Structure 1
Amino acid sequence: MRGEPDFLKSLRDEMGAGRQWLDRVVVLVYAVLAGLAVVALTLIADAALALYQGLRSHGWWVPLVWTPAVTALVVWCMRRWAPGAAGSGVPQVLTALAPETPLAQRSRFVSLRLSLAKVLGVSGGLLAGLSVGRQGPSVQVAAGVMLHARHWLSPRSGISDRELLVAGGAAGIAAAFNTPLGGIVFAIEELSRRLTERSSGLMLAAIVIAGLVAVSVFGNLSVFGRVRTDGVSWWGLLGPGLLVALACGLLGGLMSRVLLASFMGVPDRFCALRRKRPVLFAALCGLAIAVVALVTDGAVVGVGHEHTKQLLENAAQLPTEHQPFLFTGLKFIASWLSAWTGVPGGVFGPSLSIGAGVGADVAWLVNSPHGAALIALGMCAFLAAVTQTPITAMIIVMEMTDGHSMVLSLMASALLASLVSRMVSRPLYSTMSALMMRALRPADEAGPAPASVTGQGAGAHRPGDQQPQQ
């Protein structure tokens, strides 16, 4: 058995380890840079969406021309210069984290160059008027920044590339959602099951610092304000809450399943067109999204936070003023088509918006006076169903809505929705990552790869230099 630690000896060792302290400073400096990169992504993406909204005021027909053209341009640019920046970003980080991925191949999925391309690509998607999120891409952006720290670390630092990737990816979530605790939980639940005892404290500090950078810029405020639960009882919320969780579990599982089908390339004429003419296919998807945006007066465009805020603020009027099922269904379609184009963008933000729509629909359907609580449960449940990370979903929604009084209800809805989703679909991010790793192996070992990650797929740039699109 080890003896008690010697305080004076430990203090001398710490004070004498100059290079070790320098390595720690390097990691913390890059944590600040990762947070600033996510802040830059947020500001540029919001500016791009605001510019699109301004263009819509010039005529109802403008999106019908603008959205397909810009979508096609973004897809062409990504395929030409940065195929690894396409899609969500979380599967790319998981692939870079996988022990099976050769070190020389990691730059195809995570790098400083791809982080810059990701920022421009996501902003381009929002400028086009697509239904994409910026939180998932923030994972890849921050991971690329943190991984660059390895160039300045000493060989004896004890900090591995894996730990830098985990810290960077989690820092991206912490800064994007303004929820440092959510970033830590995401690191444990999704990115890594373990951190070495030697450096876990340093990595957690890096995640918190990146989150605090976002807090210092945007303020220490809940993104969606505070959900009022005064007068809400377990019995009054049990039946409608159960309905919300089940509906979100089924719909979220369906979202995950169609995204995987689109990513893998099923044998139909649409996927065939995407393989042969990916830029044209992106333009056609953009046209369909523009039509949906016209029907909803632009409500489905972008991440969806503004519409979610409006639902929460007007929760008391839902039974009389809400238009049921229209927004939820069209936001689902727009988000799916946006991901199918191959434009950089995530599903975290749209999932929160769709879940809020489900909660509002159920509140209208049962004429519940607890609309705000059901909307929060829907946000948590749908995010948990799509990502199949219930604890992360619960923490994120709890922090974004200041819903600490609903922690048990949020956890129950997240667990139930995630369970239902697993009966409908395989895990979204880990399945995509497995397919990416499969495409890296020699053909005789991996067998036929999915269409979207082979030289014949929509994600191809040129033979030998392909990247997946989702």
Structure 2
Amino acid sequence: MRSRLAIKRWSRQALFLAGGLVVGAAAVSMAFLADKAQEVLKALLQLSPYIGLALTPLGFGVSVLLARTVFPNSQGSGIPQVIAALQIEDQERRTALVSLRVALGKILVMTLGLLCGASTGREGPTVQVGGAIMHALGHRAPYRQGGFLLAGAAAGVAAAFNTPLAGIVFGIEELSRSFETRTSGLIIGAVIAAGLTSLALFGDYAYFGSTAAVLPLGRAWATILAGGVVGGLSGGLFIVIVTAFARGLPGGAGAAIVRWPILFAMLCGLGVALAGMNGDPSIFGTGYAQARAVVHAKADIDYWFAPLKFIATTLSTISGIPGGIFSPSLAIGAGEGSLLSLVFPHAPLGALALIGMVAFLTGVTHAPITAFVIVSEMTDDHAMIIPLMIAALVAQATSRLLSREGLYHALSHNFLARAQEKIA
């Protein structure tokens, strides 16, 4: 009897580790595809900035068409689908949200969106893809399948950002909102396996590069409060707008969007293209380049970047195309840090950028621990950890004035409702 239990335990651990390796490989592949898509777009825009006025709307229309007809449940970030799947007991309904078919569609259509200029990221999609891979393994094994799904999603975050600690924290704080000792070790094992795969292929690196930003104790700490409030309000506004469109606008406007979703997506794409006409290619895509430049204070400050990136990301999100908001949120936050330098010119720009990144990400997700842990790991800057903690708490309190729930959990209700309708 004991030998059977031991074999079962070790086989489960082997499946988690094997799944983690596959998730890590998938995350690296998605990073490669995302980078190449943005390189191609940048080359096209260098030929003529007006190319985006045709390419982006067309790409949005095709992406939404594929997401609605060929790969249903691949829309948006993918994190709300994972949250909903964790709460669904019916195996068929759960699989519909995190199947391998959905994962394949997520990768393909996410890449297409970035190629056409969508202001989206790959990290949220990596969570859904990671969850789908582990769910497929768990579906064929007599174990707790929720644990497999949670482990895959957490491993996806860890491998996407090269932030193993943030992956674990994200799984507990944002996805499950609980901690199960029976699966904690297995989740950590999957995160380790995914992280090792990323390390083997990409090497040891900090997502935004190592920084040494410091916020001197004293008057400069007023920037923490200001940054937290700005990030919280703008993040809360983002939630309000996105959830309003997700639930359906009232009146004729809402009816028109439901009737012509492809046309609406194309109009959103046109808006993104117009926002990107200012000449900064970081308005499109993840916004990584601009955010990194601000964090390291190696670029002229573009005070229009934050509002234009906010508009582009909002339009990309409400359009319904597959794509995440993690990276764009960090880019918006870095841009808001740049704006804070107008009021606090003597504060280090790098420190302002980190505060803005944590504040906006917290404002959107209502996951303060994940926000300050992930930014700290991505920049290898531990001197800022206390200011970032404070900024996260201020941003969460401020964002809740506009929305009681974070974006991912608010959107997950739609997927849960649809699952219940199908069961009924």
TM-score normalised per structure 2: 0.95
* Residue 162 (1) aligns with residue 146 (2): yes
Contact preservation (8 Å) 1:173, 1:182: yes
> Matches of residues 292-311 of structure 1 in structure 2 within 5 Å?
292-311=275-294
Match of 1:106 among 77, 86, 94: 94
Q: Deviations over 1:117-170 (max 9, x none)?
A: 1001110110110100111111100000011112442x3xxx311101110111
Q: Counterparts of 1:444 and 1:62 in 2: how far apart (Å)?
A: 46
Match of 1:204 among 172, 188, 202: 188
Q: Deviations over 1:380-437 (max 9, x none)?
A: 1110110000000011000011111111111110111011111111321112112221
Counterpart of 2:51 in structure 1 is 62
Q: Kindly state the Cα deviation for residue 209 of structure 1 after the two structures are TM-superposed.
A: 1.6
> Matches of residues 414-433 of structure 1 in structure 2 within 5 Å?
414-427=392-405, 428-433=407-412
* Residue 226 (1) aligns with residue 215 (2): no
* Residue 344 (1) aligns with residue 318 (2): no
Q: Kindly state the Cα deviation for residue 200 of structure 1 after the two structures are TM-superposed.
A: 2.2
Kindly provide the amino acid, as one letter, of the partner of residue 213 in structure 1: T
* Residue 273 (1) aligns with residue 256 (2): yes
Contact preservation (8 Å) 1:74, 1:124: yes
Change (3 A) 1:233 1:297: closer
**Count of residues in Structure 1 that have an aligned counterpart in Structure 2:** 423
Alpha-carbon RMSD: 2.0
Q: Counterparts of 1:375 and 1:243 in 2: how far apart (Å)?
A: 12
Change (3 A) 1:346 1:444: closer
Q: Kindly state the Cα deviation for residue 109 of structure 1 after the two structures are TM-superposed.
A: 0.7
Q: Counterparts of 1:36 and 1:444 in 2: how far apart (Å)?
A: 35
Q: Counterparts of 1:443 and 1:125 in 2: how far apart (Å)?
A: 29
Kindly provide the amino acid, as one letter, of the partner of residue 62 in structure 2: L
- Secondary structure in 2 matching 1:237: helix
* Residue 93 (1) aligns with residue 82 (2): yes
- Secondary structure in 1 matching 2:49: coil
Counterpart of 1:215 in structure 2 is 199
Change (3 A) 1:283 1:221: same
Counterpart of 1:123 in structure 2 is 111
Q: Counterparts of 1:416 and 1:341 in 2: how far apart (Å)?
A: 30
> Which stretch shifts more, 203-212 or 348-357?
203-212
Contact preservation (8 Å) 2:81, 2:98: yes
Match of 2:34 among 37, 45, 52: 45
Contact preservation (8 Å) 2:71, 2:102: yes
Change (3 A) 1:444 1:241: same
> Matches of residues 246-325 of structure 1 in structure 2 within 5 Å?
246-314=229-297, 321-324=300-303
Q: Counterparts of 2:378 and 2:280 in 1: how far apart (Å)?
A: 26
Q: Counterparts of 1:91 and 1:73 in 2: how far apart (Å)?
A: 22
Contact preservation (8 Å) 1:180, 1:212: no
- Secondary structure in 2 matching 1:183: helix
Kindly provide the amino acid, as one letter, of the partner of residue 184 in structure 2: S
* Residue 329 (1) aligns with residue 307 (2): yes
Change (3 A) 1:241 1:147: same
Contact preservation (8 Å) 1:171, 1:207: yes
Kindly provide the amino acid, as one letter, of the partner of residue 303 in structure 1: T
Q: Counterparts of 1:29 and 1:200 in 2: how far apart (Å)?
A: 16
Contact preservation (8 Å) 2:154, 2:187: no
Q: Counterparts of 1:16 and 1:191 in 2: how far apart (Å)?
A: 29
Counterpart of 1:184 in structure 2 is 168
Change (3 A) 1:443 1:152: closer
Kindly provide the amino acid, as one letter, of the partner of residue 78 in structure 2: G
Match of 2:386 among 408, 411, 422: 408
Q: Counterparts of 1:442 and 1:364 in 2: how far apart (Å)?
A: 51
* Residue 71 (1) aligns with residue 60 (2): yes
Q: Counterparts of 1:33 and 1:304 in 2: how far apart (Å)?
A: 27
Change (3 A) 1:435 1:16: closer
Q: Counterparts of 2:320 and 2:179 in 1: how far apart (Å)?
A: 33
Counterpart of 2:128 in structure 1 is 140
> Which stretch shifts more, 135-144 or 221-230?
221-230
Kindly provide the amino acid, as one letter, of the partner of residue 109 in structure 2: G
Q: Kindly state the Cα deviation for residue 46 of structure 1 after the two structures are TM-superposed.
A: 1.2
Q: Counterparts of 1:151 and 1:213 in 2: how far apart (Å)?
A: 23
Counterpart of 2:218 in structure 1 is 235
Q: Counterparts of 1:102 and 1:54 in 2: how far apart (Å)?
A: 47
Q: Counterparts of 1:196 and 1:407 in 2: how far apart (Å)?
A: 27
- Secondary structure in 1 matching 2:47: coil
Q: Kindly state the Cα deviation for residue 243 of structure 1 after the two structures are TM-superposed.
A: 0.8
Identity in percent: 38
Change (3 A) 1:254 1:13: same
- Secondary structure in 2 matching 1:242: helix
Q: Counterparts of 1:378 and 1:44 in 2: how far apart (Å)?
A: 28
> Matches of residues 3-14 of structure 1 in structure 2 within 5 Å?
13=2
Q: Deviations over 1:89-134 (max 9, x none)?
A: 01100111004x5222112210111111100111011011010011
Q: Kindly state the Cα deviation for residue 14 of structure 1 after the two structures are TM-superposed.
A: 6.7
Q: Counterparts of 1:47 and 1:434 in 2: how far apart (Å)?
A: 34
* Residue 24 (1) aligns with residue 16 (2): no
Q: Counterparts of 1:20 and 1:376 in 2: how far apart (Å)?
A: 42
Q: Deviations over 1:307-332 (max 9, x none)?
A: 011112226x7xxx4232x1111100
TM-score normalised per structure 1: 0.86
Change (3 A) 1:268 1:322: farther
**Structure 2: gaps of 5 or more residues:** none
Q: Counterparts of 1:396 and 1:430 in 2: how far apart (Å)?
A: 19
Kindly provide the amino acid, as one letter, of the partner of residue 367 in structure 2: T
Q: Counterparts of 1:279 and 1:255 in 2: how far apart (Å)?
A: 22
Q: Counterparts of 1:223 and 1:421 in 2: how far apart (Å)?
A: 26
Q: Deviations over 1:287-342 (max 9, x none)?
A: 11111111243221111111011112226x7xxx4232x11111000000001111
Kindly provide the amino acid, as one letter, of the partner of residue 166 in structure 2: G
Q: Deviations over 1:66-91 (max 9, x none)?
A: 11111111111111111211111011
Contact preservation (8 Å) 1:133, 1:350: yes
Q: Counterparts of 2:36 and 2:254 in 1: how far apart (Å)?
A: 33
Contact preservation (8 Å) 2:16, 2:189: no
* Residue 84 (1) aligns with residue 63 (2): no
